[in-house]
Structure 1
Amino acid sequence: MSRPREKRETGEQDLFRSRLDQIINMKHELVRLAQAIDWPVLKERFGAVYSDGPGMPPLPTRLMAGLAILKHTFNLSDEVLCERWVENPYFQYLCGEEFFRHDLPFDRSSMTRWRSRMGEERIVALLQESLSIAVKTGAMKPTDTRQVIVDTTVQPKNVMFPTDAKLIHRARERLVRLAKRAGLDLRQTYVRVGKLALIKQQRYAHAKQFKRANKALRRLKTYLGRTIRDISRQIAGDAELDALFKWSLYQASTVLEQRQRQRGRKIYSLHAHEVECIGKGKAHAPYEFGVKVSVATTLKRSKGGQFALHAKALPGNPYDGHTLAAIIPDMEKTIGN
């Protein structure tokens, strides 16, 4: 992949347009932030994932890094950020634009691809730069990082509540769709009767008619089991089809066999298999479905506020006390203290 073509401050004038630095307040907080950030360091860190080669060059690093800063500073979704970027000249100045633009120079999906390409290690560079700017501007003293608070919380995933009936129904639907794409002729797809059984199970469970609800649940399991066996018979001996269905069949079999109070790994979402069921003792949310995250902050409030020094996802729902051995060295590496 070729390297991005970085924009440079040209200082050129345009007869029909005014430069952003001539129409905005240069004492605005975002303007001062743009002037304080060490953009060459970020370009070097983020540019390490690219190599000189053929193909269309990626978007400028300052544009993408500026969008990431704005997204987390104002807690915006990608869609809202794109809408605000077109309207806000300060957003555009932070991202390196010289003249006001009335259209987006990027696609919304470019932000998602950029984050996945950079990975967690290089996104940490933004956290390090924010702490460096806090020290430069006097918002935080280096001594404030000597005592920290390390705690864990849950980063909830936007998934539906994982009832057995929904998971079983979704697993069968995914297998049927995959079988159609692969050209398999299933004996029966259970599209109509499967949806009817799910509706019945939900209504009986809502009415607390648990015998009827369990009967509908057993019917859903029967439909899924038949679909699994039908596909397994048809792909037997075909290495290509076996590789194609391997993960989907594993998920479907696990969902079919798992029980409510069983120990060990369970599947709570088919499209986000990293989701765990985590209980943090909250009265309003006894159980949350997501990934455990470790967060480290300064012990005392600094002049500029409370600063986050480290954040790391902890898949597998490990015990909190067992995570410090890995988190403390990472945090020391991030803050250099």
Structure 2
Amino acid sequence: MVAGLQYLQHAYRLSDETVIARWVETPYYQHFTGETFFQHRPPIDPSSLTHWRKRIGEEGAEWLLTKTIEAALHESEVDCISKGKARKRYEFGTKVSLATTIDEGFAVGMRALPGNPYDGHTLPEALKQVEILTGRTPALAVVDRGYRRHGVSATQVQVSGMRRGLTSTPKRLLRRHSAIEPEIGHMKTDGHLSRCPLKSTSGDAIFAVLCGCGHNIRKILAHLRALLTLILAAFRAAGM
């Protein structure tokens, strides 16, 4: 129940109070969280969500992210993009590392990085998180120039801007690296990543991972809507 509420909250950028209120009036929300009959009363007090987040911590939030990854990934091999800084010259807050699949943009790793560490030093831990959450060692990581001198050997790392001697396929993957920028933008605008409402560094850590959960849920729902549109179009074409 509470896990489902967290997914909905971060998929639709809702506060604790709003997601509970929306749950009461929306049968789809209730079905998503496991109810079989429509309920007319709130399932929990909004403050319980705060207590629950504190209890599960970052590790529990990562477990939630693994469930969205299982639903999202269809490929036998995980490719990873990791980027640690946005386009703005200056930003204030806690840096967040993000790892996504190259083609579909599903979040397979997300971590708050207090203290503004050098990007290259964060890559080993970011890839380790991807391995833990997906159960697979990333074969390839495409990163920006901030990740030079990363010290990673188990995964092939291609740094944006360094194309000398590359064949057409690696060059194409490097061009795909820019696709992570829209994903970051969606997380900031749709997923509320630009402003964390939780307190302390532990709150930053939990919120970052939950934003990844919401991002994947939105993508899964978008794919389902597209599939439904195709099915309905096929029915109409068949005269049904």
The two structures have a TM-score, normalised by structure 2, of 0.53
The equivalent of 1:196 in structure 2 is none
Q: From the superposition, tell whether residues 320 and 125 of structure 1 become closer, same or farther in structure 2 (CA, over 3 Å).
A: same
Aligned match for 1:325, one of 103, 124, 135: 124
Q: From the superposition, tell whether residues 281 and 109 of structure 1 become closer, same or farther in structure 2 (CA, over 3 Å).
A: same
- SS, match of residue 93 in structure 2: strand
- SS, match of residue 81 in structure 1: helix
The equivalent of 1:150 in structure 2 is 82
Q: CA offsets per residue over residues 112-135 of structure 1, 9 Å max, x none?
A: 110111001111111111111224
Q: CA offsets per residue over residues 35-83 of structure 1, 9 Å max, x none?
A: xxxxxxxxxxxxxxxxxxxxxxxxxxxx101101111222222222122
- SS, match of residue 294 in structure 1: strand
Aligned match for 1:85, one of 23, 33, 36: 23
- SS, match of residue 289 in structure 1: coil
Q: Percent identity?
A: 46
Query: Could you tell me whether the CA contact under 8 Å between 2:72 and 2:106 is conserved in 1?
Result: no
The equivalent of 1:309 in structure 2 is 108
1:293 matched to 2:231? The reply is no
Of structures 1 and 2, the one scoring higher in RCO (CA 8 A, sep 6+) is 2
The equivalent of 1:66 in structure 2 is 4
Letter in 2 for 1:151: K
Letter in 2 for 1:313: A
Q: From the superposition, tell whether residues 281 and 128 of structure 1 become closer, same or farther in structure 2 (CA, over 3 Å).
A: closer
The equivalent of 1:76 in structure 2 is 14
The equivalent of 1:251 in structure 2 is none
Q: Report 1:167-316 matches (<5 A).
A: 282=88, 286-301=89-104, 306-316=105-115
Q: How many residues align structurally? A: 136
Which has more radius of gyration? Answer: 1
Aligned match for 1:130, one of 68, 72, 81: 68
Aligned match for 1:141, one of 75, 83, 94: 75
The equivalent of 2:52 in structure 1 is 114
Runs of 4 or more above 6 Å deviation: none
TM-superposed deviation, 1:102: 1.6
The equivalent of 1:206 in structure 2 is none
TM-superposed deviation, 1:287: 2.9
The equivalent of 1:203 in structure 2 is none
TM-superposed deviation, 1:141: 1.7
Aligned mates of 2:44, 2:97 — CA distance in 1: 33
Letter in 2 for 1:300: D
Q: CA offsets per residue over residues 150-171 of structure 1, 9 Å max, x none?
A: 0114xxxxxxxxxxxxxxxxxx
* Unaligned 5+ runs, structure 1: 1-62, 154-279
Aligned mates of 2:116, 2:98 — CA distance in 1: 15
- SS, match of residue 326 in structure 1: helix
Aligned mates of 2:122, 2:28 — CA distance in 1: 40
Q: CA offsets per residue over residues 222-243 of structure 1, 9 Å max, x none?
A: xxxxxxxxxxxxxxxxxxxxxx
Aligned mates of 1:291, 1:312 — CA distance in 2: 10
* Unaligned 5+ runs, structure 2: 137-240
Aligned mates of 1:96, 1:148 — CA distance in 2: 32
1:335 matched to 2:134? The reply is yes
Letter in 1 for 2:133: T
Letter in 2 for 1:288: E
